[in-house]
Amino acid sequence: MARAARQWWWAALAATIAAPAAAHKRSDAQAMTAAVRAGVHRAAADADNAELARVLVAMAAVPRDAFVPPALRKQAFADRSLEIGDGQTISAPSVVAVMTAAAQLPPHANVLDVGTGSGYQAAVLARLADRVASVEIVPDLAAAARERLARLGYANVEVRAGDGYAGWPEHAPFDAIIVAAGSDKVPAPLLDQLKVGGRLVMPVGATWASEQLLVVTKTAPGKTMRCSLGWTMFVPLTGAGARDERVRGGVFDTSIPNCFSAPVIAPMFVSAKDEPSEE
């Protein structure tokens, strides 16, 4: 009995010590999502909608500090991208929120996440979708993300090392695809693996400097409709989807309309446009 009592006492003490830290972390996450929502509302009030609110609830429940290097954990809840090693970054919370909300995940969604990185985007998606297939081209990052997601209990996420340009045909078709790396075009294999009515969200531009975050809706086989969330800069897609590094400069494509009344990402770089364009 004495041993059992001691074990109970130590468990109670550990819980007492951990409780303030957990509460502080929840407070940080809630402050982060509140700041993201305020920023989106300032940029385009119509983007501050029910879908964004749903995504922010999911994000508040994901411990972002578990997805960044230990040295950067004090910055984990700031609205900024952070380096995670191997030349890769974890996207800023506002970018994750805007991309995820733009995907408009239906109930019981099957989602492809291209560019796993540390696994944060996959973790957010896992709280909103039934199944998340995540592809990372850097094997060490893929292995670390797989272990991290499993340890944190995200059982509905599967991670593999591979070239995201090719998607994951065995798990297709997908209700939504989120690509966290920029290219000069949307990879054809990804569009092939997207369901009709599904949305692909990805940064696209001839060069890094001319990138904008696009929402590509598949309206029929071989047909898409595009709109822009605004100007952005992502790490480049590597592998088969890599840009031609000899191309410099690049012209920002102003023919693509805004998804909302104004750009949600870096609005000063994009002119106002109204209706989605069809291809």
Q: Which residues are catalytic?
A: 91
**Minimal CA–CA distance to 191: which of 213, 158, 221?**
221
- CB neighbour burial string for 188-220, b if at least 16 within 10 angstroms, e if fewer: ebbbebbbeebbbbbbbbbbbebbbbbbbbbee
Cα 239 from Cα 137, distance rounded (Å):
8
